[in-house]
């Protein structure tokens, strides 16, 4: 057994753990923080994404002992002290960016990290920035809209309006996209 000391969501913890314990197992089973989900066993899906010293990591790719001395934020630690939703959580709600909710904690944490890292974000930047997080319900459409809404004034001009369109170059293809759908949901 190995001693691990971590700060999680502002509280300090020390536990003896088996060396092979994954960080996600430590969070879920030892600390009881079950908001972080497990969606695969190949570090492909990102459901287990948390912030480690401010940066997003897949907590299944890390042993708990590797997190020794680190400060971790999980989905449970994201909302404010008054319980108010974090702006990214709020944007996911407003834009219907979650359905079954299983990928959501990891997706939200990845988005928080992406928004903190990138000075400017357009649709392509959001899509590539979230490449490590899989969702089977939403087709990503509303997740991208929610994150772009958070990017707000840091987005290049037109990035949010262009969500209905596509990044294809010029011609009819680009122009037509801006027409949008008559039945599209108002944001």
Q: Considering only residues 38-67, where is the footprint of other proteins by CB under 8 A?
A: 38-45, 47
- Per CB under 8 A, contacts with other proteins among 148-177 are 163-168, 171-173, 175-177
Through-space distance between the first and last CA atoms of the chain, rounded to whole angstroms: 51
Interface with other proteins includes 82 (CB under 8 A)? Answer: no
Structural contact between residues 92 and 127, judged by C-beta atoms closer than 8 angstroms: no
Classify 88 as helix, strand or coil. helix
Tokens describing residue 80: 């404010």
* The binder of other proteins chosen from 121, 133, 150, 159 (CB under 8 A): 133
CB 30 to other proteins: min, Å? 12
CB of 133 to other proteins, least distance (A): 7
Contact 68, 4 (CB under 8 A): yes
- 61, 25 in Cβ contact below 8 A? no
Query: What is the spatial distance between Cα 129 and Cα 112, in angstroms, rounded to a whole number?
Result: 11
Site residues for other proteins, 90-129, by CB under 8 A, read: 92-94, 96, 98-105, 108, 123, 126-128
Residues 11-40 that bind other proteins (CB under 8 A): 18, 28, 32-40
């Amino acid at each position: 057994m190995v001693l691990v000391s971590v700060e999680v969501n502002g509280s300090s913890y020390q536990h003896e753990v088996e060396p092979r314990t994954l960080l996600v197992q430590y969070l879920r089973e030892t600390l009881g923080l079950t908001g972080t989900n497990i969606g695969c066993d190949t570090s492909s899906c990102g459901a287990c994404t948390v912030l480690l010293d401010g940066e997003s990591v897949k907590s299944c790719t890390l042993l708990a002992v590797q997190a020794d001395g680190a400060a971790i934020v999980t989905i449970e630690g994201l909302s404010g002290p008054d319980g108010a939703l974090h702006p990214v959580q709020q944007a996911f709600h407003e834009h219907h960016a979650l359905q079954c909710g299983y990928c959501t904690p990891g997706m939200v944490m990845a988005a928080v990290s992406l928004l903190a890292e990138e000075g400017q974000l357009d649709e392509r930047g959001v899509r590539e920035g979230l490449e490590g997080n899989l969702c089977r319900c939403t087709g990503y459409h509303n997740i991208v809209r929610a994150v772009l809404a958070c990017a707000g004034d840091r987005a290049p001009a037109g990035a949010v309006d262009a969500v209905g369109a596509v990044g294809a170059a010029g011609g009819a293809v680009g122009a037509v996209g801006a027409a949008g759908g008559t039945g599209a949901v108002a944001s």
